[in-house]
Structure 1
Amino acid sequence: MRRRTRTLRTAAATALLALGVTVIGPVPHSAVAADPGDDYCQGQCDDILPPGENGNATLADILGNKLFGTHPAHTEDQLGTYGALPGGYGSLTDATLGDYYNSSSFGVPPDQIESVQHPRSDVTVTRDRSTGVPHIQGTTRSGTEFGAGYAAAEDRLWLMDLFRHVGRGELTSFAGGAAANQGLEQQFFSAAPYTEADLQAQVDRIASTNGARGQQALADAQSYVDGINAYIGQAKPGRYFPGEYDLTGHINAITNAGEIEPFKLTDLIALGAVVGALFGSGGGGQVQSALALQAAQNKYGVVKGTQVWEAFRERNDPEAVLTVHDGQTFPYADQPAHPRGEALPDPGSVVPEQLVYDRTGSAASSSRAPARTPLHVPAKLRPLQGIFDNGVLPGNLLSTPRKGMSNALLVSGKYTASGHPVAVFGPQTGYFAPQLLMREELRGPGISARGAAFAGLNMYVELGRGQDYAWSATSAGQDVTDTYAVELCDPSGKTPTIESDSYLWHGSCVPFEKIERTDSWSPTIADSTAAGSYRMQVYRTRYGLVTARATVGGKPVAYTSLRSSYQHEADSIIGFQMLNDPGFVHDARSFQQAVQHIDYTFNWFYADSQDIAYYNSGTNPVRAADVDPSLPVLAEQSYEWQGFNPADNTSADTPPSEHPQSIDQDYYVSWNNKQAKDYSSSGFGDGSVHRANLLDDRVKRLVKQGGVTRAALTQAMADAAVTDLRGEDVLPELLAVLRGKPITDPQLASAVAELANWSNDGAKRKENSPGSHTYADSDAIRIMDAWWPLLVKGEFEPGLGSDLYNALTANLGVDESPSAGHGPTGSHAGSSFQLGWWSYADKDLRAVLGRPVQGGLAEKYCGGGDLPACQSMLLTTLKQAVATPADQLYPGDGTGCAAGDQWCADSIVQRPLGGISDDRISWQNRPTYQQVVEFPSHR
């Protein structure tokens, strides 16, 4: 029976009863506590995951939320705690960490038990009173996994159902045809199109290629799915299933007719494909990179143009902040001395591959908001209409070149107050209601862990802690995706064209494999989008998925995307199984051995009472000699990955010893930055100024001082989380350039003074006082937000020329301020300053000032290298920025922000993935799920 204490107002219940909907109350349970036994953290492990653990809401709950603003228990009880840190970190101590984090100790004290369930005789699910987190204790391993599936469905069933349909390219038929839903399913289907046979093959491979561990993983997954389906079987007749099924027409709100489709193992693969595409892949983009190279060569000539392109590419910048900074080098994906096989497109010939065909009804609308048709809605339910009109899910989850956002700070015990390592780390998975992640504790034979995991994949804890160790990850994004130029052909022997649907494979003309999905939808109570349909089509080759067409040297080609983890979404299950196994992970070395089995591109971090450690995971293909991974390559056998087998998309991979790794370095920081020397970045932007500098500078100071505590390291993270990267690391140079220029315009002089004061104050984007909803130094922040894109354009476009400037900005956007529309949820996403032109501006301004620069830009751009001309340009663009009205800079939006409201424009919104909405919180640039840990003892 569904557990939960409700705060549903009587009027909401009455409204439902009037419609004939039965409201089921909670069933009492006996109370027993899980045994905390072997917890070596001794109360010094904490974590947080907003907005709350509970992600399921009945129709009654949703109606209460929409009519009266009520919330089911535990849906937002971590939001205020999380949101309060920017206002309170300045006085933080180890004793007050509990004001901003929850205990992640094992077990539940008897006086903190909220409920106890026995979904099967061999498992107990105990929920704590403070957060409602499920603590799952199994007497058998199967029972433990069954309980994990049951608890997952209890907390995230609708979310899991959404994402299994996203992974199959079937979202609109399931959740409605809103424009955002269309965009989301199209992006995922184009990145990871699978047939049911593909999904089943991945399931079969788990056991067939991983021995006893693979067989155990498959058994675990089946028990987990059985637990999900057990909950569905109970919730449906009991009417305590998520109300979104009523709102989208899957179940009749009056008669209870309809079904919730049971889960199966292939659904887990579809879910895994979504997570892998979002957070665990890297590379690609070689065609866009090639267009920038060609623009540079057109501007400067081949030799000089290539130098300029390489300077902006910054694939191995000597000034980049490094996670492994102890002098180790890990060569991978760097520029070859004599590249061969490059397949640069003929100018103007690139045409993106069409994905969507045969649009009808609302699918044929070119408007962002599809046309609506009237829908009969019972009067008492009309307040619900429009909940999902803009899409159950955002349509730009894959809109950024790299899907990083997480961060990590770890300090060796040599530099801490206790002599034991301290870590503050976690993933940034965006802000949703409910969250993509869920918290849990799993305890059973061979499993002992507590932490967080993606809902629907939480048969193991994916980020968290074991008995005497903790681990976390950040997105690495190293280049594991290559672009091949596949020569097109005609089986009949005719001259091929760019529209041909066959290609050359080792001398034979073979047809593309077509993968199709047809989706159609009708209006529902929750989504009034008019009926519509379309067909999605992706061509697959042995060199990957067709993404574009062009000519190369006059020959028609298809550009394909070949990702090493494609068709291998499930393989990483073995590594996660090991991380949860106290018999396998017992020190830093065994931790590194575990994460070597994870194919996704992640940076993994570890802490116990003795050591900290790091390892970069991912299936890094061994490329053919002298192939440049930053550019498209000819689809010929001599340029294939070594040992390439297209039948199962396998190849030779770089050995574990060649992946960046380290044990007990003085400290580690990671914020999706460059991993190590000579480990080339997969995209533009890893240069002298990166947001990881915000962490590195602070942690370096702490280590130098010594005596680091959990609170001190948390303060370093929190201070970086409210700092404007441009203001801290580029503004001082902008002011240095202007320092020698007399400013006679009073308005400009005042603006420069405002910016200087803000710089001296630490360049924070922080409220005057908690809850004030106004920033200190608000004028300076407004000026910087307006000035930055203007000054970058004024600094670089005159020298580069419009064609090259536009080609470069297509590879790396100019800015990523908090109010910009970017990240996994568009605007209001929290994560900021990952990708932008701050490094380019930093290097160029230092060069113009005559200061030392390593890895410079090959030319001086600001004012053509002339300091007075640079000063004049900065003042001209600054004057434009000062004159930019706040309501133009912060135009307001559909989330409720009024035009000109600076704080609101920056604020974080928990993007609804269902019927429950939560309050916004102040901006902070920080992981969504975060741990603060310090182990005083070890097994």
Structure 2
Amino acid sequence: MRFRTGKLTRVAVAAAAVLVLGATFAAPLPQEAQAAPTAAQAATDYCGGQCSDILPPGATGNATLADILANRVFGTRPAHSADQLGPYNDLAQGYPTLTDDKLNTFFNDSSFGVPADQVESVTKPRDDVTITRDKKTGVPHIQGTTREGTEFGAGFAAAQDRLWLMDLFRHVGRGELTSFAGGAASNQGLEQDFFRQAPYTEADYQAQIDYILATGGERGKQALADAQAYVDGINAYAKKAKDARNFPGEYVLTGHIDAITNAGEIQPFKLTDLIALASVVGALFGNGGGGEVEGALSLLAAQQKYGLEEGTKVWESFRQRNDPEAVLTVRDGKGFPYADKPASPKGTALPDRGSVSSEQLVYDREGSATPAKAGARTRVKAPAKLDKLRGIYDDGVLPRDLFSRKKGMSNALVVSGKYTAGGHPVAVFGPQTGYFAPQLLMLQELQGPGISARGASFAGVGMYVQLGRGQDYAWSATTSAQDVTDTYAVELCSPDGSAPSKDATYYRYHGDCLPMDKLERRNAWKPTVADSTAAGSYRMQVYRTKYGLVTHRATVGGKPVAYTSLRATYRHEADSIIGFQMLNDPGYVTDAKSFQSAAQHINYTFNWFYADSRQAAYYNSGLNMRRADGVDPSLPVKAEQAYEWRDFDPAHNTAAYTPPAEHPQSIDQDYYISWNNKLAKDYSAAGFGNGSVHRGNLLDDRVRALVKKGGVTRAALTRAMAEAAVTDLRGEDVLPELLKVLRSKPIDDPALATAVQRLESWQAAGSQRRETSGGSKTYGHADAVRIMDAWWPLLVEAEFKPGLGGELYDALRTNLSVDEAPSAGHGPTGSHAGSSFQYGWWSYVDKDLRAVLGEDVKGPLAKRYCGGGELSACRDALLSSLKQAAAKPATEVYPGDDNCAAGDQWCADSIIQRTVGGLTHDKISWQNRPTFQQVVEFARHR
């Protein structure tokens, strides 16, 4: 039973006392750091000191109440909670002069083991496992003499570093965030977004465990044994921390444990909690497709404006399913057909115009669950010493749009040994998972029977390293997001045979009228010191059919339907555990082929990259279902047996899937790049706008030039990544066409001429958003950057809205946002998120302007839009929008927020580690790069 004191002032007084007394919540655990510091014996390591990694802000992710208070009052932080943030930040300024011998100025040495003189602490949570932490980073190196002990140690170390975060996310996965962490609007929105995608019951979680046992063979049994040992390790640490009063301070701040009596508890973890956590990871980074209803609405708008045939052509040209100019990861010309438009679509179920409504999710709002007037807030009274802690979670512990916004997981640069100085493949790669404090990922090394790896794992599901390195190979992933989600139009019915309404909760399945399953979650919360919003409650409700979860209601041909979302990975997020187990097994992964075989067992939609001393490789994973002939995956389809996935079994949500040979893959291509771009020829993109200009071009252009020159080094490939990371995609790949149009005639207006000159100078200098010097917090060509930021949304509207009309223009903006500049609010953590230029209208602008200029365009838009297709009129429209943009002061372009003053350009772009726990961190300069990153070149092979 969860404990809440109900006497918040008592918690506050106790917290203040902790600040004064200092040591109460900082005592070491009884069994920690008692063993003599000795070297952690390294497993056989074939990297030869040429493997590096980094993960900001730092390995330590737990903070006691005293730590949190000290941070808020004095700005201090626990050891290793921020020591990777500075080196990560410094690369943006230091990359131009980077050499191989300077790499570990900006990265950590990721060699196996810990030398004796680098040991900071040694913990033996039980006899068959040792956790050694190094002095530089505090990363846990877990070494077990038994497999069970190894996994127990992994869970123990994970709880040492991320207990609060893991607890937070298991409650997100269960749709119970507000009742656990408070009723802030952001928390409400987050749990609602996730519950829409995965409204699981306890039986659903257990069913995933049972499925692995039934279908996974010996590896499945071993995986669940590993997971149980991992859970046991988490619980062992949680109990010791609670007994020693050394637990994360957030438990006190949110009212779960009494600071004076230590009453209350940290709820023990269960195996099903790991399934809940895996569901969160899958929803965040391993999904693909969806959005068919929104696509249908823009198609209807296009057909309304242009007529059925012409409107469909216009819509398809914006959809860009298989654009011939798109940058590819597999570039050998081989096609991998999947999810493209069928020649003769069948079963498409477009809604009647004006009939679509979103399904209601939230009911019975009370208290702070009811939308309040701006500024209305109930504050908890507490002593003055707690000013720094009052309401720290009033804005939520996690961003509101963590699940609702599209996001990319990036990036990868891999060069074959044929083109490197050392004759071995070189890789610079890693996932971009957002910037959090503590980070969602955690670093660890695992060494035990059948396990040998170092790298990053998502907190709470770290029984294996998910992205990292083995003894003589390394691997990483980017999000591929191919289409594994379909929308069905389910015919509604009434059990008595009467005409159903749009709100009916019965539906047709193979001729029968069946009731929908109603999945509910009721949450309630009270004020705490950290979250001082008023008490409140509500109920969430989702209807589930055999064709998936109800998302919208509409009519099709006058008949009421429920649109449902059916995801291939729904109820199967945990299946991927077997693939990760294989990647950690040195007896399984021995070369590129065995690596690809392991990746085939991961059903998340990821691009997987591999490098050892001899080979480089790529494989696209995902549960790609086989659709019925004629089904258009980009639009809703009728929920009839003829249009179901092949061999569809709704009882287990399984179907026939495309075989591994049909997934994009390659071994020893000259180089690979990935930044969530198009994967291969004929492999259709899941969303809009994957065309001629993509942020993947920023990598491809640079790596291609390196390969052409030859002699690529780790430093050279890192420089290519880092330069792309501070480059404005619009400035590098679209501004040249814009300038051609503007310069097609002399510019008479002095103010416009000055603005154009500044843009030209910026473009000639590399279109970068980079400080003039380290710590200056001022961009070179700052005014050009300001002009571009102000101009882009204005120029897109001026170019396209007159031709498309307001309704179609707005519908297409719903399918694809116009811009994703660094200062915009987007990405995994909202604003200040780092990740930029993934989604935008850059390809549309590029293709349209080249067409207006009379240049060759492969896969052009169906019409010319800028100036009605006439160059002079296009120029006038662009100049008019540019004049408006140039006149905007910085205070309007960068209006400021809780972290930045209006007009502060550098701060508006800056990356902020989104506070998930109680610690805050310094801002760092914008750079568009992975959160966790590896730089590797293996010197030898087994």
Determine if the TM-score, normalized by the shorter chain, exceeds 0.5.
yes
Q: 1:486 maps to what in 2?
A: 490
Q: How does 1:550-565 map to 2 (within 5 A)?
A: 550-565=554-569
In structure 2, the residue matched to 1:935 is 938
1:388 aligned partner: 393
Measure the CA separation in 1 of the matches of 2:310 and 2:25. Answer: 74
| Corresponding residue to 2:901 among 898, 902, 907 | 898
CA contact (8 A) 1:179 1:368 kept: no
Following superposition of structure 1 onto structure 2, how do residues 715-864 of structure 1 map, counting pairs within 5 Å?
715-864=719-868
- Whether the 8 Å CA contact 1:412–1:422 is kept in 2: the answer is yes
* Structure 2 partner of 1:5: none
Could you tell me how far 1:223 is from its partner in structure 2? 0.3
CA distance in 1, matches of 2:689, 2:248: 43
Residue of structure 1 aligned with 2:601, choices 592, 597, 602: 597
Question: Helix, strand or coil: the match of 2:124?
Answer: strand
Letter in 2 for 1:194: Y
Match of 1:467 in 2: 471
Cα drift, residue 15 of structure 1: 4.8
Q: Please list every run of 5 or more consecutive structure 1 residues that lacks an aligned counterpart in the other structure.
A: 1-10
Relative to structure 1, is the Cα distance of residues 461 and 743 closer, same or farther in structure 2, using a 3 angstrom cutoff?
A: same
Q: The residue matched to 1:572 in structure 2 has which SS?
A: helix
Alignment correspondent of 1:416: 420
How far apart are the structure 2 equivalents of 1:15 and 1:479? Answer: 52
The one-letter amino acid of 1:386's match is G
The letter of the residue matching 2:71 is N
Between stretches 33-42 and 691-700, larger displacement belongs to 33-42
1:222 partner letter: Q
Distance 1:24 1:368 in 2: 43
The answer as to 2:683 corresponding to 1:689 is no
Match of 1:128 among 90, 111, 134: 134
Q: Is the contact made by 1:825 and 1:911 (CA closer than 8 Å) also made in structure 2? A: yes
8 Å contact from structure 1 (residues 331, 679) kept in 2:
yes
Q: SS of 1:820's equivalent?
A: coil
* Distance in 2 (alpha carbons) for counterparts of 1:248 and 1:12: 12
Q: Which residue of 2 aligns with 1:228?
A: 234
State the secondary structure of the residue aligned to 2:573: coil
Q: Which residue of 1 aligns with 2:144?
A: 138
1:220 match: secondary structure: helix
TM-score (norm 2): 0.97
Tell me, yes or no, if the aligned pair for 2:25 and 2:246 is still in contact at 8 Å: no
> 1:240, 1:74 → 2: CA distance?
17
Instruction: Give the secondary structure class of the aligned counterpart of 1:383.
Output: coil
**Match for residue 589 of structure 2 among 582, 585, 601:** 585
User: 2:397 is matched by which residue type in structure 1?
Assistant: V
Tell me which residue corresponds to 2:291.
Answer: 285
Deviation track 1:738-774 (CA, whole Å, cap 9, x = no partner) reads 1122211111000000000000000000001010000
2:920 counterpart of 1:914: no
| Counterpart contact for 2:140–2:157, Cα < 8 Å | yes
Distance 1:92 1:756 in 2: 28
Instruction: Tell me the secondary structure at the aligned position of residue 561 of structure 1.
Output: strand
CA contact (8 A) 1:399 1:824 kept: no
User: How many residue pairs get matched?
Assistant: 926
How far off its partner does 1:392 sit?
1.0
Aligned partners of 1:758, 1:83: CA distance in 2, in Å? 23
Structure 2 CA distance for partners of 1:857 and 1:863, relative to 1, 3 Å: same
Cα distance in structure 2, aligned partners of 1:381 and 1:18: 15
CA apart distance, 1:12: 9.7
Aligned to 1:170: 176
The residue correspondences of 1:11-30 to structure 2 (distance < 5 A) are 15-16=18-19, 21=24, 23-25=26-28, 28-29=33-34, 30=36
The alpha-carbon deviation at position 265 of structure 1 amounts to: 0.3
* Separation (CA, whole Å) in 2 of partners of 1:467 and 1:665: 23
Report how far residue 457 of structure 1 moved.
0.5
Look up the equivalent residue of 1:394 and give its one-letter code: P
Counterparts of 1:248 and 1:818 in 2: how far apart (Å)? 33
Equivalent residue number for residue 6 of structure 2: none
Amino acid at match of 2:440: L
The answer to whether the 8 A contact 2:547-2:650 is kept is yes
Q: Given the alignment, which residue of 266, 275, 286 partners 1:269? A: 275
Q: What is the letter of the counterpart of residue 108 of structure 1?
A: V
Q: Specify the alignment match of 1:3 in structure 2.
A: none
Distance in 1 (alpha carbons) for counterparts of 2:333 and 2:388: 61
Aligned to 1:96: 102
Q: Look up the match of 1:568.
A: 572
Residues 1:38 and 2:41 are matched in the alignment: no
Deviations 1:91-118 (A, max 9, x none): 0000000110001000000000000000
Letter in 1 for 2:176: E
Alpha-carbon displacement from aligned partner over 1:884-939 (angstroms, at most 9, x marks no partner): 12111101111x20000000000000000010000010000000000000001000
Aligned to 1:714: 718
Distance 2:550 2:563 in 1: 6
Q: Determine which of 161, 166, 176 is the counterpart of 1:160.
A: 166
Deviation sequence 1:795-823 (CA, Å, 0-9, x none): 01111111111111110010000000000
Q: Are 1:373 and 2:378 counterparts? A: yes
Output the CA distance in 2 between the equivalents of 1:274 and 1:378: 37
Q: Post-superposition shift, 1:552?
A: 0.3
SS of the residue corresponding to residue 142 of structure 2 reads strand
Is the counterpart of residue 663 in structure 1 residue 667 in structure 2? yes
Is 1:355 matched with 2:361?
yes
- Across the aligned residues of Structure 1 and Structure 2, the Cα RMSD in angstroms comes to 1.3
Q: Give the match for residue 319 of structure 1.
A: 325
Q: Which one of 400, 407, 416 corresponds to residue 403 of structure 1?
A: 407
Identity %: 72
User: Cα 1:841–1:501, aligned 2, differ >3 Å: closer, same or farther?
Assistant: same
Which digits, 9 at most, give the CA deviation of each residue in 1:700-730, with x for residues without a partner? 0000000000000000000000000000000
1:372 shift after superposition? 2.3
Q: How is 1:520-559 mapped onto 2 (pairs within 5 angstroms)?
A: 520-559=524-563
Q: Distance in 1 between matches of 2:245 and 2:862?
A: 67
User: Is the 1:281–1:477 Cα contact (8 Å) retained in structure 2?
Assistant: yes
Note the C-alpha offset of 1:444: 0.2
Tell me if structure 1 keeps the 8 A contact 2:25–2:247.
no
Is 2:364–2:538's contact at 8 Å kept on the other side of the alignment? yes
The CA distance in 2 between the partners of 1:398 and 1:450, in whole Å, is: 28
> C-alpha deviations, 1:419-470, integer Å up to 9, x for none?
1000000000000000000000000000000000000000000000000000
Equivalent pair of 1:50/1:76 in contact (CA under 8 Å) = yes
The alpha-carbon deviation at position 380 of structure 1 amounts to 3.0
SS at match of 2:167: helix
Deviates most, 490-499 or 738-747 = 738-747
Contact 1:15 1:380 in 2 (8 A): no
The aligned amino acid for 2:143 is Q
SS in structure 1 opposite 2:575?
A: coil
CA apart distance, 1:18: 5.6
The CA deviation string for residues 162-185 of structure 1, in whole angstroms up to 9 with x for no partner, is: 000000000000000011100110
Give the aligned residue type for 2:902: A
Structure 1 distance, partners of 2:902, 2:404, is 25
How far 1:386 sits from its partner (Å)? Answer: 1.7
1:212 and 2:218 aligned: yes
Give the match for residue 74 of structure 1: 80
Per-residue CA deviation, residues 158-212 of structure 1 (Å, 9 max, x unaligned), is 0000000000000000000011100110000111110000001111222221110
1:498 aligns to 2:502 (yes or no)? yes
Moved runs in structure 1, 4+ residues, more than 4 A? 11-15, 17-23, 25-28, 366-369
Whole-angstrom CA distance in 1 between matches of 2:374 and 2:697: 38
The answer to whether the 8 Å contact 1:232/1:260 transfers is yes
8 Å Cα contact 2:15-2:65 kept in structure 1: no
**Structure 2 Cα separation of the partners of residues 55 and 919 of structure 1:** 15
Give CA-to-partner distance per residue, 1:319-376, whole Å, 9 cap, x none: 000000011100000010000100000000000000000000010125576x422423
- Is the 8 Å Cα contact of residues 26 and 64 (structure 2) preserved in structure 1? no
Q: Does 1:247 align with 2:273?
A: no
Structure 2: runs of 5 or more not aligned: 1-13
Kindly indicate whether the alpha-carbon contact (under 8 Å) linking 2:16 and 2:385 is maintained by their aligned counterparts in 1.
no
Per-residue CA deviation, residues 125-162 of structure 1 (Å, 9 max, x unaligned), is 00000000000000000000000000000000000000
